[in-house]
Amino acid sequence: MKIRFFLLDIDYITEKKGLKIRLWGKTADGKNVVVFVQSNPYFFVFPKDIKKAQKDIEEILKGKNISVKGIEKIEKKLNGELKEFLKITCFLPQHTQKIRDFIKVLEKNRGGTGSIIEEYEYSINFYRRFLMDKRIDGNCWLEIEGEKLNTNYKVDLALNAKKIKVLEDISIPELKILAFDIETSEIAGEKQIVMASFYGKAFKKVITDQKSDYPDWVEVVKDEKELLQKIVKTFNEYLPDIIVTYYGDSFDFQVLMDRCQSNKVKLIVSRDKTETKFTRRARISSARLNGIVHLDIFNFISNILSPSLQTEVLSLDAVSSELLGDKKIEVDYQEMLEAWRKGKNLSKLAEYCLKDAELTYRLAEILLPQNFEITKTVGQILFDVSRMTYGQLVEWYLSRKASEKNEIIPNQPKYEQVLKRRKITYIGGFVKEPLPGIHEKIAILDFRSLYPSLIVSFNISPETLNCDCCEENGHKVAGLNYWFCQRKEGFIPSVIKELIEKRSQIKKKLKETEKTSLEYKVLYNRQYALKIIANATYGYFGFAGSKWYSKECAESCSALGRYWIKKTIEEAENKGFEVIYADTDSLFLKTKDGDIKQATEAFLDYINEKFPGMLELDLQGYYETGIFIPRGAAPGTAKKRYALIDKKGELLIRGLETVRRDWCNLAKEVQRKVLEFVLRDKDIEMAKQYVKEVVENIKQKQILLKDLIIYEELTKPIETYKQIGPHVMAAKKLRERGMEVGEGMLIMFIITKGQGSISQRAEPVEFVSLKEIDSDYYIYHQILPAALRVLQVLGVSEKDLVS
């Protein structure tokens, strides 16, 4: 039979019958399907002497208890040049790595016969390799010809594939999305789940074992075990295609798993009825539910979205406020613990819990389309792509293109090499320090496409660097002794060029498309996906763990970038602009006299005419008022920092917010108000006055103790700390008073007056009264830094705020 479906997930299983890839997806008429495909993993050997290499390998394998499916001779490009390789096809995914380890001793530098020079692509994950080979993108439509199978899976249809065809179709079928959130409480130092919420299309549900009067969408069960069973049941009855969480990889699913183990409940959510497992990744483990995509949107927000967000605090509250214009229900942590303990206000907590799931769901509604398009562009699956950093997106995009162009994918550097690379530095982007103060009528020009353009125009790629053929007339980089090949297009420029060209085609099409249509949305997200990958490639050259690392390429990009931005600044100044600020790829202009819009438009026409190749300067926008903060002004100098306000009174703030939960509430409040005074009311005096009042209030103790609490987590057992920070000291004091203190506990403390370091004066909030607080700490370490972050630029100093 023949079916068509939208690919959601892929994995593989090893059964007695052999190794099978599983493709999971959904048909246009809402059926969930799984398709089994026969495939084998393999890797490549680059030989010195191909015949001897094959004999040597066969000899080694005879001595080990491991066999291969086959060894064949094939041709692949290594650094752009066609060479002969041995392709070793294996029976099991883990065999590629294992067999490689056995045969690497043949390399000369390891004291072997020298018949092998190097091995390649032995650590590429099996299903990722499958996607690359078959040219299948995650979230594409597939047409499968095959025979029906019987499984015990929770699917409508299972097939054994004979033929797979990738279809051209941009549509997305209706998917069942379910957001999930839990609330926990600490009882005798142990975390317990006390509430869970679910939010989907026309579906809302809260389950709890805490008795109280609730609205009808709350279900009360008798204990935690029943709560856990009910959670599992809800997942299985709703049977979503995608489960969305906010920080679920590191919290909700971790705790759920943990509690299920303690209560002997099986956490079976997957479609193949296997228990939830965590797949290890770099920093975090991810909860994987076979056949259901677990999307933890915090990953995407933190890895990809955060640079373009105004907020630097990536809490659900801050992110929802910015993206949805909606907030969490306000309950602070202390209040929540109190509520669980006393069984008070539980109805509000149920609302709170549901609201979290609702916000998570609505964020997913916005971010899923973007994720689908990035997934399609990179050519991997949603589960993985939604968790990738910029570097990983670039790496997997390049890997896919390498596979398409029959190029060998370079190996990942060894750890020692990464360390060595990290020590190498080169000069970064050019920064023209901002002129201090408030500026009016500003134009922002954007060079964002600067690096991709330069890579293409100058043919910057590891294998085109210092080629033999162009020593005389290659692309020269001013100030560096490098050149890039004029004759042969490099691998990276060729794939970047594809990205840029595809993107400009889409942008052209966007102009002819109805803005409210689905097609517009899809195309818009697609061009965004292409843009972020193209823009990240320069950084990837210089990233120490990169497979296509080249210090020379990265250095060339930044040198050329500096050259062009300086030239642009010069041109702008010649045309009568005042350049208030410039950083790497953006310029902030003001006219000395005349209309900013007219002058800017004329300048853009003029300069883009002059620029070579694909280089282009774009208008980012006009702003009424703005302040810019010099990189050196405050500690932490790497980020661009400014605040702007446009004609409609909309604020645009970058890099100014710093206050996280390890700052007290009062500091957060102060920073927010100061920004409002400065930008909205343009009244520095009022801002100063306000800060002075707060300072005075602290001195007079006219504040609430709860606004001074600092929250910090004990991330490991208390004995293992080498450095005793304030929260560790506070935790020790809790323990001395007979409280159980464990890993993962959120410590709430106050800095008190007295002798010694900050840590020594950190006291658990339970044992502090307002009169003991260290006013100086709160004034000089919390309130003033938060306020001065903004006010410093306006010439306000610490002295102006404390009399």
Partner DNA sequence: ATGAATCGGGG
Partner DNA sequence: GTGTACGATTCAT
Contact positions with DNA (CB under 7 A) in 355-374: 356
Kindly identify the residues of this chain, within the stretch 387-406, that bind DNA according to CB under 7 A.
388-389, 391-392, 394-395
Q: Find the shortest distance in angstroms from Cβ 288 to DNA.
A: 7
**Cβ atoms within 10 A of the Cβ of 661, count?**
16
Nearer CB in complex with DNA: 326/573: 326
Residue of 175, 239, 686, 724 interacting with DNA (CB under 7 A): 724
Q: In DSSP terms, which residues pair with 47 in a beta bridge?
A: 116
Whole-angstrom distance, CA of residue 699 vs CA of residue 714: 30
Binding segment for DNA (CB under 7 A), chosen from 542-550, 552-560, 572-580, 670-678, is 542-550
Kindly tell me which residue out of 166, 323, 329, 418 binds DNA, with binding defined by CB under 7 A.
418
Residues forming beta bridges with residue 296, ordered by sequence position: 245
**543 touches DNA by CB under 7 A:** yes
> Do residues 176 and 45 touch, judged by C-beta distance below 8 A?
no
Please report the DSSP string for 133-167 in residue order. HHTPPTT-EEEEEEEE---SSS-SEEEEEEEEEEE
Range 568-607, binding DNA (CB under 7 A): none
Segment contacting DNA by CB under 7 A, of 383-391, 585-593, 669-677, 687-695 = 383-391
Is the Cβ of residue 118 or residue 190 nearer to DNA in the bound state?
Answer: 190
Question: Between the CA atoms of 483, 487, 489 and 493, what dihedral angle is there, to the nearest 10 degrees?
Answer: 30
48 lies in the site for DNA, by CB under 7 A: no
Instruction: Tell which positions 123-142 bind DNA, by CB under 7 A.
Output: 123, 125-128
Q: If we measure between CA atoms, which residue out of 696, 656, 706, 704 comes closest to residue 676?
A: 656
Nearest approach, Cβ of residue 555 and DNA (Å)? 17
Sheet holding 218-220, edge to edge: 218-220, 203-208, 190-200, 177-187, 242-245, 293-296
At its nearest, how many Å lie between DNA and the CB of residue 588?
20
Q: Which stretch binds DNA (CB under 7 A): 141-149, 411-419, 525-533, 604-612?
A: 411-419
Q: Is-contact 279 381, C-beta < 8 A?
A: no
Beta carbons of 585 and 450 less than 8 angstroms apart = yes
* Cβ–Cβ < 8 Å for 671, 789: yes
**Interface positions, 184-213, toward DNA (CB under 7 A):** 184, 191
Of 636, 717, 754, 795, the one binding DNA (CB under 7 A) is 636
Site for DNA in 425-484 (CB under 7 A): none
Pick the closest to residue 608 from 447, 409, 790, 384 (CA basis).
447
The reply on whether position 637 binds DNA by CB under 7 A is yes
- Could you say which residues in the range 662-721 bind DNA, by CB under 7 A? 662-663, 711-716, 720-721
- Give the C-alpha separation, 207 to 197, whole Å: 6
Minimum distance from residue 481 beta carbon to DNA (Å):
28
Cα separation, 39 vs 436, in Å, equals 62
Of 376 and 387, the one with the shorter C-beta distance to DNA is 387
Nearest to DNA of 613, 754 (CB atom): 754
Chain residues 79-108 in contact with DNA, contact rule CB under 7 A: 93-94, 97
Report the nearest approach of DNA to the CB of residue 679 (Å).
Answer: 20
Indicate which single residue of 415, 511, 514, 649 sits in contact with DNA (rule: CB under 7 A): 415
Instruction: Please pick, from the candidates 60, 314, 619, 705, the single residue that binds DNA as defined by CB under 7 A.
Output: 314
What is the full DSSP assignment across 444-482?
Answer: EEE-TTHHHHHHHHTT--TTTBT-GGGTTTSEE-TTSS-
Of 143, 317, 332, 707, the one binding DNA (CB under 7 A) is: 317
One-letter amino acid at 259 equals R
Select from 101-109, 264-272, 464-472, 629-637 the region that touches DNA (CB under 7 A).
Answer: 629-637
Rounded Cα–Cα distance for residues 628 and 36 (Å): 57
The closest of 154, 181, 152, 329 to 243, measured between CA atoms, is 181
Closest to DNA by CB, 360 vs 527, is: 360
Q: Does the protein bind DNA through residue 732 (CB under 7 A)?
A: no
Interaction of residue 658 with DNA, rule CB under 7 A: yes
The residue from 5, 6, 12, 120 that contacts DNA (CB under 7 A) is 12
Residue 667 CB, shortest distance to DNA, in Å, is: 9
Q: Applying CB under 7 A, does 758 fall inside the site for DNA?
A: yes
CA dihedral 302, 303, 305, 308 (to 10 degrees): 100
Q: For residues 258 and 571, which CB has a smaller minimum distance to DNA in the complex?
A: 258
Q: How far is the CB of 598 from DNA (least distance, A)?
A: 37
Which CB contacts under 8 angstroms, 24+ apart, belong to 618-622? 618/445, 618/446, 618/447, 618/448, 618/449, 619/443, 619/444, 619/445, 619/446, 620/444, 620/445, 620/446, 620/586, 621/443, 621/444, 621/646, 622/441, 622/442, 622/443, 622/444, 622/596, 622/597, 622/646, 622/647
Is the separation of the CB atoms in 506 and 376 below 8 Å?
A: no
Q: In this complex, which beta carbon is closest to DNA, that of residue 56 or of residue 119? A: 119
* Cβ–Cβ under 8 Å, residues 108 and 74: no
Site map 222..251 versus DNA, x via CB under 7 A = ------------------------xx--xx
Number of residues that bind DNA (CB under 7 A): 85
What is the rounded end-to-end Cα distance, in angstroms, of the chain?
83
Which CB sits closer to DNA, 262 or 760? 760
User: Closest CB to DNA among 296 and 373?
Assistant: 296
Round to whole Å and give the CA distance between 369 and 524.
Answer: 10
What are the structure tokens assigned to 332, written together?
A: 């602070």
Q: Which is nearer to DNA, 425 or 723 (CB)?
A: 723
Instruction: Work out whether 342 is an interface residue with DNA (CB under 7 A).
Output: no
One of 309, 324, 619, 746 touching DNA (CB under 7 A): 746
Specify the stretch interacting with DNA by CB under 7 A; choose among 76-84, 151-159, 498-506, 751-759: 751-759
At residue 59, φ and ψ (nearest 5 deg) are -60, -45
Q: How far apart are CA 361 and CA 350, in angstroms?
A: 17
Choose which of 723, 755, 771, 803 interacts with DNA (CB under 7 A): 723
Considering only 2, 156, 211, 333, the residue that binds DNA (CB under 7 A) is 333
Considering the complex, state which of residue 231 and residue 467 has its C-beta at the smaller distance from DNA.
231
